[in-house]
């Protein structure tokens, strides 16, 4: 039994209105310096009866034909066993690295991530008219951003690995927010 | 859902010349389609047309001269719009029919299904404004040499309503260049004077594309709903041009 994760992301150059909207919303919460927000889809599968090259070919084919639309989307496949399964790792284990006490996370053995070696964006260099429009919209949007004056800009995390591992930018941000919330609560 | 052939003579005027034979329109019904009745009703106002429904699990087109993929939310728009419907049994027949030169019209969700099935170019993204849009829309007719637009003039401005959340048509830069070179764009969003501008673009579609044909011109996908403007009482008759053209085209064969 192989466990498979397929990440589907909008191709580079394709306007992602959801990503743009989220990007505009984050500064309102005090998160500065956030850019390139893209909203994709994370699909998990279990596959029986195939392994190795055959499994790879099967997943590649199903991703290309159904899970993603290669005209507008890139996909990135991760084939993992039980130990490495990102969702499983949320249950706690020997290697707790970030997060609150009740939701420990375990570092996965993710050799690659969508943002590193196997960067799905790298393969999609097609530019379309909507990109220019999207950026223009974004630039306009920036001017209207409301930043809470009392909150200092956030420090960006080190984006070295997958979002589920040590350098998880989301987890780091959460920690910081939690800390601030606690401090705010004391006042 | 597999109603038999329904005679389209209800609206025939007394004394109207009997057509040589009725033009058989097969309207494919997917789970979640919701414009099939509108299409059926619109077609039934043409004395020459004989619309009937085709269930998505059918394996033959029941003698259809024209196949219509109606609007709606086939399979709940799961995964991507049109992504699942594309694999319905009848789509194999539709693809074979299209390859053989048969006219196929995809409206709204039907366009999305055609794009997913690679029967027309490109893909439909969510509207750039993130909103579901539903309003009358001006379109500029770019071609009148297709089976779908014979009753229009090139450059004519028509008004047909749009009603969608994923109508933001796009294609890679290379395929876009080919599409424009070959003149596959049939309708573009425009203002009432026919100016194709960004301001007149309701959903962010590249080059204001509202409808395109395949290279052989016999498969057209369009986001606006011509079936909703086929009677003056319902706000317009510009949609009649699309179905009327298909009737003219078929009767001429």
Domain limits for position B96: 23-252
Q: How many domains does chain B have?
A: 1
Where residue A99 falls among pLDDT bands split at 50, 70, 90? very low
Domain positions in chain A are 2-186
Q: Is the pLDDT of residue B23 over 70?
A: yes
Lookup result for tokens 């004394």: B15
The residue of B115, B173, B205, B209 whose CB has the most chain A CBs within 10 angstroms, and thus the best one to mutate to test that interface, is B173
B3 is a domain residue: no
Q: What digits encode the pLDDT tens for the residues A27-80?
A: 999 999 999 999 999 999 999 888 889 999 999 999 999 999 999 999 999 987
Assess if residue B15 is contained within a domain: no
Tell me which of 1.20.144.10, 3.30.2130.10, 3.30.1280.10, 2.40.128.640 is the CATH number of domain A2-186: 3.30.1280.10
Query: In this complex, which of B80, B128, B172 lies closest to A133 when CB atoms are compared?
Result: B128
**Contacts with A18 from chain B: Cβ below 8 Å:** 126, 130
Which of A17, A130, A134 shows the shortest C-beta gap to B130? A17
**DSSP assignment of chain A:** -EEEEEEEEEPTTS--HHHHHHHHHGGGGT--S-------EEEEEEE-S--HHHHHHHHHHHIIIII--TTTEEEEEEEE-GGG-TTGGGG--S-B-SS-TTS--B----S--TTTTT-HHHH-----HHHHHHHHHHHHHHHT----TTSPPPPPP---S-TTSTT-HHHHHHHHHHHHHHHHHH-
A19-28, A146-155, B123-132: segment of lowest average pLDDT: A146-155
The CA distance from A17 to the nearest CA of chain B, in Å, is: 6
Q: Which residues of B does the annotation mark as catalytic?
A: 108, 225, 227
**Residue B199 scores a pLDDT above 60:** yes
Contact A169, A115 (CB under 8 A): no
Contact A129 B206 (CB under 8 A): yes
Helix/strand number for chain B, H first, E second: 5, 11
Residues of A in Cβ contact (< 8 Å) with B123: 69, 71-72
Residue B215 lies in a domain: yes
CA nearest neighbour of B59 among B25, B112, B96, B99:
B96
pLDDT band at A123 (very low <50, low <70, confident <90, very high): very low
Give this prediction's pTM.
0.72
Taking contacts as CB-CB distances below 8 angstroms, the residues of chain A near B176 are 128-129
């Amino acid at each position: 039994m192989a466990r498979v994760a397929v990440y589907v992301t909008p191709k580079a150059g394709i306007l992602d209105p959801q990503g743009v909207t989220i990007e505009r919303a984050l500064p309102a919460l005090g998160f500065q310096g956030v850019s390139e927000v893209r909203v994709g889809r994370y699909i998990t599968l279990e596959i029986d009866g195939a392994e190795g090259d055959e499994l790879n070919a099967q997943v590649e084919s199903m991703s290309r034909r159904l899970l993603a639309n290669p005209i507008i989307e890139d996909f990135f496949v991760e084939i993992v066993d039980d130990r490495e399964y990102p969702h499983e790792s949320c249950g706690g284990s020997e290697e707790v690295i970030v997060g609150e006490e009740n939701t420990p996370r375990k570092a996965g053995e993710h050799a690659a991530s969508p943002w590193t070696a196997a960067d799905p964006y790298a393969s999609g260099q097609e530019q379309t008219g909507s990109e220019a429009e999207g950026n223009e919209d974004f630039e306009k949007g920036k001017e209207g951003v409301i930043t809470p004056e009392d909150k200092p800009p956030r420090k960006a995390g080190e984006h070295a690995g997958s979002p589920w591992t040590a350098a998880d930018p989301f987890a780091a941000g959460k920690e910081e927010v939690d800390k601030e919330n606690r401090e705010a609560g004391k006042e | 859902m597999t109603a038999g052939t329904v005679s389209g003579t209800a609206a025939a005027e007394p004394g109207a010349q009997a057509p040589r034979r009725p033009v058989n329109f097969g309207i494919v019904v997917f789970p979640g389609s919701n414009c099939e009745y509108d299409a059926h009703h619109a077609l039934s106002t043409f004395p020459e047309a004989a619309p009937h429904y085709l269930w998505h699990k059918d394996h033959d087109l029941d003698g259809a001269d024209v196949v219509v993929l109606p609007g709606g939310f086939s399979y709940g728009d799961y995964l991507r719009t049109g992504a699942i419907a594309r694999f319905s049994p009848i789509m194999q027949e539709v693809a074979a029919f299209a390859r053989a030169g048969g006219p196929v019209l995809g409206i709204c969700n039907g366009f999305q299904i055609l794009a997913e099935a690679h029967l027309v170019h490109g893909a439909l993204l969510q509207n750039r404004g993130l909103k579901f849009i539903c309003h009358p829309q001006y379109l500029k007719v770019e071609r009148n040499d297709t089976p779908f637009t014979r009753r229009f003039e090139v450059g004519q401005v028509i008004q047909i309503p749009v009603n969608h959340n994923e109508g933001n048509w796009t294609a890679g830069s290379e395929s876009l260049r080919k599409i424009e070179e070959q003149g596959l764009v049939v309708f573009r969003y425009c203002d009432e004077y026919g100016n194709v501008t960004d301001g007149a673009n309701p959903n962010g579609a590249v080059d204001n594309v509202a409808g395109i044909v395949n290279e052989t011109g016999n498969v057209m996908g369009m986001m606006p709903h011509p079936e909703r403007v086929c009677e003056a009482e319902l706000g317009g008759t510009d949609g009649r041009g699309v179905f009327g053209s298909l009737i003219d085209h078929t009767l001429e064969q």
